[in-house]
Each structure stands twice: as structure tokens, then as C-alpha cells.
């Protein structure tokens, strides 16, 4: 699958709706059409209505039905540009900037597009961390200055950081907004995020982690002591936490706790694919085609997770 790596290549590859449509079709059905209802392959293409009709169950489906782009009225070219900017801008792109760059009708449209893309990047439940995994908590959000820090700071959201410790680098990471540092809050994400048998979780001596071994998880707690030592015992968790804070500050002027998890998912996605930036456009497009429709009311409703 070819993917553009510069804006010039992007323009050459996607000059019109038809080129975007052909690309999406190849991304969604790399081996040819497959009916979303019965998985059948034989079909008729209804040219005028741009619908695929399954010859087995007769269901009609559009290219974007049941994907992140389900029911969109925004032209594909604008979606493609949004996905290109989203993939290329490491600091992400603000809804206001996207609205201006694409000439979108409203801020709401731009905001919705970006959040749908973010939601499509959330980690798949089957992707579990393994090996040596560092776990730590950090705080994000709240007042930009003058806020107190520590376990239980007001107006800030606690984020659980899980990251694989490789020999000379960090592996994959998972970030999860949690209400507090109790085992009730941390435990399900710790236990559910790792491959049990092959994984050891490394933490400091915070008591929210102590019940882990009682629940059958291999756990090594180290005495934290001062901040310098904290960095030493969990180096990769600290690196991820400080990268996250810099990214949130550089990108957004205040992420509401309600939507924080989506930003955490976006950050994690980028972090886990660092070094593969050139391929991100293709990856994001594929996620958009594999993802589920997310209506506006669900985007703005409950906190994610
Ligand atoms: Zn069918």
C-alpha cells in the first residue's frame, strides 16, 4: 500500500474524491469486497448510488458504513487531509487549526473529526504488555501553575503509566486515567493490561500496588525514597510521564478530564510507533476503516472508559 510522506506527494496521490475512495476501498477490503453482514464476497456494485450489494444476503453497504467515517457528510478529501495532518503533526493538530486549514463549516465538525480519529487509535484489548513492565502514576491537567502535586492533588487527573522495559529502551506503553491510586482503581488495569504468566510488574512501594502478588501477578516493589531514586528505579515510566506532560502542554491548552483518555490513547499510539512516522497516515486510515462508528452524542457523553 502506497502512502504519501509529504504534502506534495499527498496532493499528487489524492487529487479528487475518486482517488480517496479507491484508496479507502483498498484499505478496508485489501482482498476485495467482503459483505459486513454475511462475509460473502460475490457482489454487485451499484454505480449511481455508490453501494455494494451482496449477492448472498442482498445487504447493501457503502464503503464507509460501520467505520469511523460512517454517515459522514464531509467530503473524503477533507477527511484525508485531516488524517494526513493528524498523522504528520507529532504535536497533533487543534480543532481550530483544522477548521481553518480545511475550510470546514464549524469548529464542531473539526472537533468531531479529530475525536473520532483519536477514538479509533485506542489500544486493542488483545494487545497486552509482557516481559518486565514498569507501573507508576502521574498527574496531568488542572491549573498550569501553582497546583499542588503528589498523590491526591486537586483538579488534576491521575494517570496510570504502564510501559515495557526493554534492554536499552522502552517498549509499548499503556496510559489510563484513573480516579485514584487505590488498588481498586489501579488493579483492573494492571491485571488486565499484561500477559500474566510472562510478565513481572515493577513499581515503587506505594501501597496501591501491594495486593498485586495476592492476585497472582509477579510483582517487584522497590523502595522509592527521594525523587532522584524514583527516576532510577522506574526510568521508562518516568520518561513516558514527562513526554506525556510536554506533549499535552505543547498541544492543548487544557484537556478536559472528560476527554483525557482519548488524548492518552493518541499519545500512546504515537509513542508505540515512534520511528514509524512515515507510515502513520496509512495506519490512521486503516484504523479509521477498522474502527466502529462513534456518533456525536457518544463522543461527548461519558468519560471514556
Ligand atoms: Zn452478505
User: How remote is the CA of residue 289 from the centroid of ligand 1, in Å?
Assistant: 18
User: How remote is the CA of residue 295 from the centroid of ligand 1, in Å?
Assistant: 24
Give yes or no for a contact between 107 and 121, defined as CB atoms under 8 angstroms apart.
no
Compute the distance between CA of residue 185 and CA of residue 176 in angstroms, rounded to an integer. 10
- 305 pLDDT band, cuts 50/70/90, is very low
- 148 pLDDT band, cuts 50/70/90, is very low
* Each residue's pLDDT tens digit, 84-97: 999 988 877 888 99
* Each residue's pLDDT tens digit, 242-268: 999 988 887 666 677 788 888 898 899
DSSP calls for 91-123: T---HHHHHHHHT-S-HHHHHHHHHHHHHHTSP
- pTM: predicted TM-score of the whole model, two decimal places: 0.84
Compute the distance between CA of residue 10 and CA of residue 117 in angstroms, rounded to an integer. 19
- 197 pLDDT band, cuts 50/70/90, is confident
User: How remote is the CA of residue 36 from the centroid of ligand 1, in Å?
Assistant: 7
Pick from 184, 127, 179, 157: nearest CA to 264: 157
User: How remote is the CA of residue 44 from the centroid of ligand 1, in Å?
Assistant: 11
Q: Above pLDDT 70, what percent of the chain?
A: 91
Pick from 302, 305, 295: nearest CA to 264: 305
Pick the range with the lowest mean pLDDT from 138-142, 223-227, 286-290: 223-227
Helix, strand and coil percent figures for the chain, each rounded to 5: 40, 20, 40
3-state SS of 205-220 is CCCCCHHHHHHCCEEE
Amino acid at each position: 500500500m502506497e502512502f504519501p510522506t509529504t504534502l506534495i506527494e499527498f496532493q499528487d496521490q489524492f487529487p479528487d474524491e475518486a482517488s480517496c475512495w479507491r484508496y479507502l476501498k483498498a484499505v478496508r477490503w485489501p482482498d476485495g469486497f467482503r459483505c459486513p453482514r454475511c462475509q460473502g464476497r460475490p457482489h454487485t456494485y451499484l454505480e449511481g448510488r455508490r453501494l455494494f450489494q451482496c449477492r448472498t444476503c442482498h445487504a447493501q453497504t457503502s464503503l464507509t458504513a460501520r467505520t469511523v467515517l460512517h454517515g459522514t457528510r464531509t467530503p473524503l478529501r477533507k477527511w484525508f487531509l485531516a488524517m494526513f495532518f493528524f498523522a504528520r503533526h507529532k504535536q497533533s493538530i487543534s480543532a481550530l487549526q483544522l477548521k481553518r486549514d480545511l475550510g470546514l463549516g464549524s469548529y464542531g465538525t473539526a472537533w468531531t473529526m479529530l475525536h473520532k480519529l483519536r477514538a479509533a487509535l485506542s489500544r486493542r484489548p488483545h494487545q497486552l504488555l509482557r516481559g518486565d513492565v514498569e507501573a507508576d502514576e502521574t498527574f496531568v491537567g488542572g491549573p498550569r501553575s501553582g497546583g499542588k502535586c503528589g498523590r491526591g492533588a486537586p483538579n488534576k487527573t491521575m494517570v496510570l503509566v504502564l510501559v515495557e522495559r526493554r534492554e536499552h529502551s522502552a517498549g509499548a506503553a499503556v496510559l489510563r486515567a484513573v480516579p485514584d491510586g487505590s488498588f481498586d482503581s489501579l488493579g483492573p488495569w494492571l491485571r488486565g493490561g499484561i500477559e500474566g504468566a510472562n510478565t513481572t510488574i515493577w513499581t515503587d512501594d506505594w501501597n496501591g500496588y501491594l495486593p498485586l502478588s495476592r492476585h497472582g501477578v509477579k510483582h517487584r516493589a522497590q523502595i522509592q525514597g527521594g525523587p532522584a531514586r524514583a527516576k532510577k528505579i522506574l526510568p521508562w515510566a518516568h520518561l513516558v510521564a514527562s513526554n506525556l506532560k510536554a506533549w499535552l502542554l505543547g498541544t492543548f491548552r487544557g484537556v478536559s478530564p472528560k476527554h483525557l483518555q482519548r488524548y492518552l490513547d493518541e499519545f500512546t499510539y504515537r509513542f508505540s510507533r515512534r520511528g514509524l512516522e512515515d507510515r502513520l497516515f496509512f495506519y490512521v486510515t486503516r484504523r479509521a476503516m477498522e474502527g466502529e462508528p462513534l456518533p456525536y452524542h457518544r463522543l461527548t457523553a461519558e468519560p471514556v472508559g
